[in-house]
Structure 1
Amino acid sequence: MVTFSPAQVCVKVGTAGKSKCSLPAGNMFVRAFLAGAYIAMGAALATVGSTGVADFLGAGIAQFILGALFPIGLILVVLTGAELFTGDAMFAPMAILQGHTGLKGLIYLWVVVYIGNLVGSLFMAYVMANGPFVSYATGTAVVTAFGTRAIGIATAKVSYAGIGGIWSVFLKGILCNWLVCLALFLGLAADEVISKIVAIWFPIMAFVATGFEHCVANMYFIPAGILTNMVAGTADTNLLNWGTMWTNNIIWSTLGNIVGAVIFMAIIYYYCYKSEICALCEAK
């Protein structure tokens, strides 16, 4: 197994960011749609796998299982070359710092990928809310235990009230994407599949189990709860709805995710290894 130094990984991040910013919009959107769907697949598995666990093994073990199952989503994203907004929040700024692209390229990448991730997430939310989260055994739709769990997760994610709630989501967003980008960074430090999977799994498990907020995952978690609740009618729609999805979570988790990627990964790592990065770029 070959491992790369932090400076070498920074160069790889910048080069990848340059490539991402130059993708045609249609190609970029399809890759982003796939990434949204893949993250949702991990989130759906985590929802199902953690259902009922807290009642028998406690809340901590339930969170650990949620975290242990979720990373399949990012593993699929990385190994298939899909485009994820939270990762691109590190890749594009690093490309700018290394002089590979400009602010226009960053905005282009972020906007197209964000929309594509949202569409892919909503697609999976619809599939789950009309599939495993409901049962038609009696001829009419009845919410399953998995669906009830999905509604509970969604309700918790929009239950941030006031300035304190917004600040909480923002801070959780920072820490979330710091770990997500560390997972991507560590994945790039390895050159074979098993090592990449292991490198990705630990930081992603940590962010999910700890309860941090990931905007793309929430593009699935919250709609899945909203759509399932349309069948069940068991949650307060004054709290869980399409408006609170944005105002109580996704706007602020997105901003936190950007700060986590741009400041705590791209800028800090470029600062730490600038001389080595410049030397490696000149040697190419």
Structure 2
Amino acid sequence: MAKNFLTPAETAQAFIGVGDYKTKMPVPKIIISSFLAGAYIAFAAQLMTTVTHDMAPLFGVGFSSFIGGCVFGIALVLVLVAGSDLFTGNTLLSMGWLNGNLTTGQVLNNWTLVYIGNFIGSLFLVWMMFTSDIWSGNGSQIGAHAVAIAYKKTHLTFSEAFVRGIGCNWLVCLAVVIVAAGQDTMGKIAGAWFPVMAFIASGFEHCVANMFIIPAGLVAMTDPTIANVVMENHPAWDLSSLNLYAFFVHNLIPVTLGNIVSGAVLVGGIYWYLYVKETQPVSQQTKKDDKTGFQAAKLGRK
């Protein structure tokens, strides 16, 4: 009876072929695919904001974070199962680079294009939320919550944001590995959902999610009604400190670096060392399974 998953060794071998495919995609396809991933992550972030905006006073911060993680789990399901290119998942291209299949230029070029595409997709969702006036819901409390999340994220220290970025993408890339190993749709969905729920509930930081969350807060607070609600809820805050400089320097840059470290080294590097380095294909069946994994991953475009 055929198994419905790949072993870790077979999955790692399959990623070598995936990296070759991703780096040879035409630039317009990379941009469009990564635009979709940015939008998918942003949909999940907006859902999380709406669902949790009034939960903490009723159920506590911990349970509210857990529910936020549960609903945010749709993000990687859309990215990995529906298909698109996400920067954090593409840090696993390090496996192909370590194996000598990819050059440094190929990896950096892909990362740059995907990062830009993710950012564009995220900002498109910011425009959608602003134009749709969703943030004015429940007496502008939804918008105020969007601002509050952004404010807290931009007031982390560099080291806090960096380490939270490491924790996040360690889990996200493990989700990518699990989805690639799965050979049926429900297995892939479960594999994508659980690690993402864990990183959100834990309070870790994802650079692409923050490409939506922090600009959303920046835009939402330009509405005087929303800004007033924020100050009523948090009278000691200085909203002027939530700005583009804080977005990039206090959050996006350190979080991105942390995401790269965990994805490229703690998952990609270690899996390459354990299962690819100095190994030979064990059998024709392994090759067949690798091909199956490659085709599944190609459709998923992690």
Common fold by TM > 0.5:
yes
After TM superposition, list the pairs within 5 Å mapping 1:172-211 onto structure 2: 172-211=164-203
Q: Structure 2: any 5+ residue segments left out of the alignment?
A: 231-237, 288-302
Q: CA deviation at 1:129?
A: 2.7
Q: CA deviation at 1:58?
A: 0.5
Q: Number of paired residues?
A: 273
AA of the residue aligned to 1:249: N
AA of the residue aligned to 2:146: A
Give the conservation status (yes or no) of the 8 Å contact 2:11–2:180: yes
Q: CA deviation at 1:153?
A: 0.6
Query: Which of 8, 11, 31 does residue 9 from structure 1 map onto?
Result: 11
SS of 2:221's partner is: helix
* Matched residue, 2:107: 106
Query: Which of 26, 34, 46 does residue 32 from structure 1 map onto?
Result: 34
Q: CA deviation at 1:149?
A: 1.1
TM-score by length of 2: 0.86
Give the conservation status (yes or no) of the 8 Å contact 1:8–1:280: no
AA of the residue aligned to 2:185: V
Q: CA deviation at 1:276?
A: 7.5
Q: CA deviation at 1:252?
A: 0.2
* Matched residue, 1:80: 82
AA of the residue aligned to 2:130: A
Q: CA deviation at 1:74?
A: 1.1
Give the conservation status (yes or no) of the 8 Å contact 1:14–1:94: yes
* Matched residue, 2:298: none
Query: Which of 141, 144, 147 does residue 148 from structure 1 map onto?
Result: 144
**Over aligned residue pairs, what C-alpha RMSD do you find?**
1.8
- For 1:123 and 1:102, the matched residues in 2 are separated by 32
- For 1:233 and 1:275, the matched residues in 2 are separated by 54
Distance 1:98 1:73, change over 3 A: same
Give the conservation status (yes or no) of the 8 Å contact 1:174–1:260: yes
Query: Which of 248, 260, 263 does residue 262 from structure 2 map onto?
Result: 260
- The CA deviation string for residues 243-271 of structure 1, in whole angstroms up to 9 with x for no partner, is 21101100000000000011101111111
Give the conservation status (yes or no) of the 8 Å contact 2:13–2:275: no
Give the conservation status (yes or no) of the 8 Å contact 2:99–2:277: no
- The CA deviation string for residues 183-238 of structure 1, in whole angstroms up to 9 with x for no partner, is 01011111111110001111000000100000000000000111100113346342
Q: Structure 1: any 5+ residue segments left out of the alignment?
A: 136-141
Bigger mean CA deviation after superposition, 249-258 or 122-131: 122-131
TM-score by length of 1: 0.91
SS of 1:134's partner is: helix
Give the conservation status (yes or no) of the 8 Å contact 1:11–1:280: no
* Matched residue, 2:300: none
- The CA deviation string for residues 79-107 of structure 1, in whole angstroms up to 9 with x for no partner, is 122010000011x1111223322111101
Query: Which of 248, 260, 270 does residue 246 from structure 1 map onto?
Result: 248
* Matched residue, 2:276: 274
AA of the residue aligned to 2:27: A
